[in-house]
Chains A and B, each alone.
Chain A
Amino acid sequence: MLNRQKRKLLLPFLAPALLLYCVFFLYPAARTFHVALTSWNGITPDLPFVGLDNFRELADDPIFRGTIRNTAVFTILGAIVLFPLALFLAFATSEKVFGARTFRFIVLAPVALSVATAALLWKFALNPNFGLVNGLLGAVDLEEWSRPWLGMESTAMIAVVLATIWHGVGIWMIFFAAAISRVPQELKEAARIDGASSWRIFCHIVFPLIWDVTRILIVLWIIGALQAFAFIFAMTGGGPFNATNVFGTYLYDAAFVESRFGYAAAVAVVMFGLILCFTAIVTRLTRRATVQY
């Protein structure tokens, strides 16, 4: 009787979510695979079918190949900076540290800022004319180190990566801290009584036990990094000379600057394929027996 009562709710309760989700989310996602096979410019009513031409052109485009390289650099460089930093911040503030809550709050606070806000903050700080960074370098007599950070091919990517990580590291710290807090206290105490240092406790007890979480986080980082857009768009626009041009900025330009919507859809399909592949590969590579604790 209870279930019969509740079943009356089925249709009216499911319909709104289902309708919005299908029309404005699933349908466009599916349609992208169709648009990717056309040379649509957004104006003609019908979509001229061109088969796999867009994908062939992508494979031949040196700028797109550069985009692949830049996205890879962004992802790897980001991971190299992000994971040790986030792990360190999480482990350090999990220990009995004076002011741990304050530290966590300050590290986490940028997460609440809009990507646009955070990107502008660092764009201004790195500005060659009035920027904070060059100003400080001048103040400590390192004027020759100052440079247009975002205007040089060699430093633009690093600057963008660091700004991205500054903005997001708090979330990753929280993820790691949550994992670390699930490591049983007795294990750490026992090791400590046996004379193990914090570093050894971290390497031999904490890290193996949070490896499963780390694995998931690496996958999440790769998925996110492949879609990097807002920071790069707001800080460099993909420049200088395509040095920070990644999938996201390339797709944006193709679609909303050049009106080559079929081509842009093909980029989206490649991105989606890569995301699926990486998720599968990394999950497999890092799979190992789950440690029981």
Chain B
Amino acid sequence: MTDVIHHSGDVGTHTVQKRNPPWRSVFHPGRLLLYVFLVSYCLTSVGAFLWIVSISLKSNPEFFSTSPWSPPKSPTLDNYREAWTTAKIGTFVLNSVIVTVVSVVVTLVVSSMAAYVLSRVEFRGRNTLTTFFLLGLMIPGFLIIVPLYFLLRDLHLLGSLYGLIIVYIATQIPFSIYVLTGFFRTLPQELEEAAYVDGASALKVFVRIMLPLAAPGIASVALLNGLAIWNEFFFALVFLSDESKLTLPVGLFRLSINAEYSAQWTPLFAGLVLAMIPVLIVFGVAQERITRGLTLGAVKG
């Protein structure tokens, strides 16, 4: 690895103005090694994904009779049909959509309101209160799981999607407030003041002026929270039990446990593909924003 970078430097040593075009520098020996590494790393990822897709197109007998990496002989979508209905993937997806959408929306409403007040209104104890919210960034899920389990049980929210949603909202609040206060602080004062001079109410200023201005920050938070909740495993594993209430990650996990006994593997692969495709599409479309949001979140430690 060290050699790779060492040699690749020679490309730039002769002249800074006249750069070699990228495609020509590929053939430089150092660059070549670098490419071999990058390409093989990426091929591993893509290969693993394609392997899952290929098996999801095989029938169960073919799966057991042929080599695991041979392409499907007669591709069939039966596994997808079975995964969606019999294996209840459809229910899991629906549950995940409900949980994610409701959690994200409520978190955003609640957090942006609090973040606005914490960043744009002067009052005594403001800094203390902000720190109080940020305390949550230091608290891991493990520290709350046991009492939370019994709190939900006593409120008859254990095993229900509502309980899970409430937990997701509560645990996403610190991060959302952290990012959103940072965002609200950067907004210009003038627009807000002008609206007040025109006689708008505080609520109206918030909804009509401040929220739209904060839209990029809100979108980043929504995406990051959405991904985190869509993929969340630990809380869902502990708090949900009834098969018709499972979210996708826990549902898939439960199916994989059952497959150990029933040997019905191929629908499970179809289920994995169904779980991967939507997030990969969202990710492909919003990569820039997610990347920026991730860098933003990095500072939180």
Chain A residues within an 8 Å CB radius of B34: 92, 97
List the one stretch of A55-63, A73-81, A118-126 in contact with chain B: A118-126
A-chain residues with CB within 8 Å of residue B26 when the two chains form the complex: 98
Q: Does B178 sit within 8 A of A, measured CB to CB?
A: no
Residues of A within 8 A of B94 (CB): none
Q: Which chain A residues lie closer than 8 Å to B6 at the CB level?
A: 197-200
Within 8 A of A (CB), among B113-147: 113-114, 116-118, 120-123, 129, 133, 135-136, 138-147
Query: Given A166, A174, A268, which contacts B146 in the complex, CB threshold below 8 Å?
Result: A268
Q: Does A112 lie within 8 Å of B291, measured CB to CB? A: no
Q: Quick one: which of B9, B45, B118, B138 contacts A192, CB cutoff 8 A?
A: B9
Give A9 to B202 CA distance when docked, in angstroms. Answer: 7
Interface string of B160-192 (1 = CB under 8 A from A): 000000110111011001000000000000001
Chain A contact surface mostly: helix
The answer, yes or no, to whether A234 is at the interface (CB within 8 Å) is yes
B301 contacts A13, C-beta separation under 8 Å: no
Please name all residues of chain A whose beta carbon is closer than 8 Å to the beta carbon of B216 when the two chains form the complex.
none
Assess whether A271 is interfacial by the CB under 8 Å rule: yes
Q: Mark A1-39, 1 if CB is under 8 A from B, else 0.
A: 111011111101110111011011111110110010000
Residues on the A chain within 8 Å of B23, using CB: 98
A149 interface residue per 8 A CB criterion? no
Q: Would you give the 0/1 interface string for B213-249, flagging 1 where the beta carbon is closer than 8 Å to chain A?
A: 0000000000000010011111001100000000011
A193 to B18, CA, bound (A): 12
Is B276 part of the binding interface, using a Cβ–Cβ cutoff of 8 Å?
yes
Smallest beta-carbon distance A141→chain B, Å: 14
| Distance A3 CA – B206 CA, assembled complex (angstroms) | 13
Closest chain A residue, CB of each to CB of B31 = A97
Point out the residues of chain B lying under 8 angstroms from A109, CB to CB: 45, 280, 283-284
List the one stretch of B61-69, B73-81, B82-90 in contact with chain A.
B61-69
CB distance from A254 to the nearest CB of B (A): 9
**B-contact bits for A207-231, CB 8 A (1 contact / 0 none):** 0000000001101100100010110
Q: Cβ of A132 and Cβ of B51 under 8 Å apart?
A: yes
Contacts A25-B173, A32-B143, A120-B256; A199 near B9 (Cβ below 8 A): yes
Decide: A14 and B52 in contact? CB cutoff 8 A.
Answer: no
Which residues of B are in contact with A by a Cβ distance under 8 Å?
1-2, 5-10, 12-13, 16, 19, 22-23, 25-26, 31, 34-35, 37-38, 41-42, 45-49, 51-52, 63-64, 67-69, 110-111, 113-114, 116-118, 120-123, 129, 133, 135-136, 138-151, 166-167, 169-171, 173-174, 177, 192-193, 196, 201-203, 206, 227, 230-234, 237-238, 248-250, 252-253, 256, 265, 268-269, 272, 275-276, 279-280, 282-284, 287, 290-291, 294-295, 298, 301
Given pairs A202-B5, A229-B234, 14 additional interface contacts (CB within 8 A): A6-B202, A21-B136, A25-B171, A97-B31, A98-B25, A114-B232, A115-B249, A123-B256, A132-B69, A199-B6, A216-B298, A229-B142, A234-B233, A261-B150
